[in-house]
Amino acid sequence: MQRKIAIPRELLVDEELMLPGMTSCQGCAAPISMKIALKALGNRTVIVFPACCFCVFQGGYPYTNLKVPVIHCPFETSAVVASGAAAALDVRGEKDTTVMVWAGDGGTFDIGIQALSGAAERNDNILFVCYDNEAYMNTGIQRSSATPMGAWTTTTPAGALKSEPKKDIEQIMLAHHIAYMATASPAYPDDLYRKFQKARQITGMKFIHLLSACPSGWRIDPADSVRIMRMATQSRVFPIYEVTKQTGAVPGEDTWEYDITVIPEKEVPVSDYLKSQGRFRLMTDDMVVKIQKQADRKWRDLIEKRDATRLACV
């Protein structure tokens, strides 16, 4: 099925809340996502940054390139710092605000997961965004639990490539019965924009998992960043979908509605996606087969859940 990317008009004309002058690397996907996210969220947004690349390159005292309030915090605390800010805004009677965490995969999957799990279980009114570049890129490419199987990093060098599959953060978040869980990619900016708009309207815990290419860590040409992220979705390594809580008419009858929001314009084998990046250069054929099977399984599972949702709606 062919798919055209329709750029919403607002994306082109709304006020820019992310200004130029950052020191991010060429081809880094995170600023592309931030720019679109802020257009959808508007200026009544507080951003909470744990330690991550973005925390470093968005400013450096006394500068900031974001035209919204920003709170920096210790690495493992971002979700609960946001919970505290949301509670204070609530008690002060500030309406129509969004408190958004913008954390890397380390700050989400690893060191940040305890505070994140706590905030999710309490259904605190925050939006937690993980821009996942699949390793500790800020400290120089070390493996995290978001690093895919077979990837080279400085702590999984040749001869000791990562042998474990990537942690399934999406399932972990869904197990907390949260209000909204979505994946998104700046390779599909219209979808990304719509998801942040949707998250803005929902009260309670929202989680958006962004794929975020890192040319330095993925060993790719910066010019290929968006193309390779698109291949991640085309190969179903990173399917783009959302799960929305539907509050039941009767207590205890809440349901979660699945929708696959991007059906890629073409399908590519997982091996093409892996071959496009230097970090997977050393992986074995066995690993490629395993990743292909995981991707197929996840896709089948998503189709099944989406169809079940559709049946339930009929």
| Chain positions contacting other proteins, by CB under 8 A | 43-44, 46, 48, 55-56, 59-62, 64, 66-74, 76-77, 80-92, 97, 99, 114-115, 117-118, 121-122, 124
Give, as one character, the DSSP assignment of residue 108.
I
The 10 Å Cβ neighbour count of residue 43 is 12
Q: Which tokens hold the place of 86?
A: 């949301």
Smallest distance, other proteins to C-beta of residue 293, A: 35
Residues 6+ positions from 94 with CB-CB distance below 8 Å? none
Q: Which tokens hold the place of 167?
A: 């942690």
Smallest distance, other proteins to C-beta of residue 123, A: 12
Smallest distance, other proteins to C-beta of residue 70, A: 4
Name which of 83 and 147 has its Cβ closer to other proteins. 83
Q: Specify the residue for token string 């609530």.
A: 90
Smallest distance, other proteins to C-beta of residue 205, A: 13
Contact indicator for 274, 220 with CB cutoff of 8 Å:
no
Name which of 83 and 261 has its Cβ closer to other proteins. 83
Smallest distance, other proteins to C-beta of residue 73, A: 5
- Give me the count of residues in the chain: 314
CA gap 212, 39 in Å, rounded: 18
Contact indicator for 157, 147 with CB cutoff of 8 Å:
no
Smallest distance, other proteins to C-beta of residue 141, A: 20
For the four alpha carbons of 215, 218, 224 and 230, in that order, the dihedral sign comes to: negative
Name which of 89 and 303 has its Cβ closer to other proteins. 89
Nearest to 4, CA basis, from 232, 189, 207: 189
Residues 6+ positions from 95 with CB-CB distance below 8 Å? none
* Residues linked to residue 156 through DSSP beta bridges, in sequence order: 153
CA gap 305, 296 in Å, rounded: 14
Name which of 64 and 155 has its Cβ closer to other proteins. 64
Name which of 90 and 265 has its Cβ closer to other proteins. 90
Smallest distance, other proteins to C-beta of residue 142, A: 20
Name which of 54 and 196 has its Cβ closer to other proteins. 54
Name which of 11 and 71 has its Cβ closer to other proteins. 71
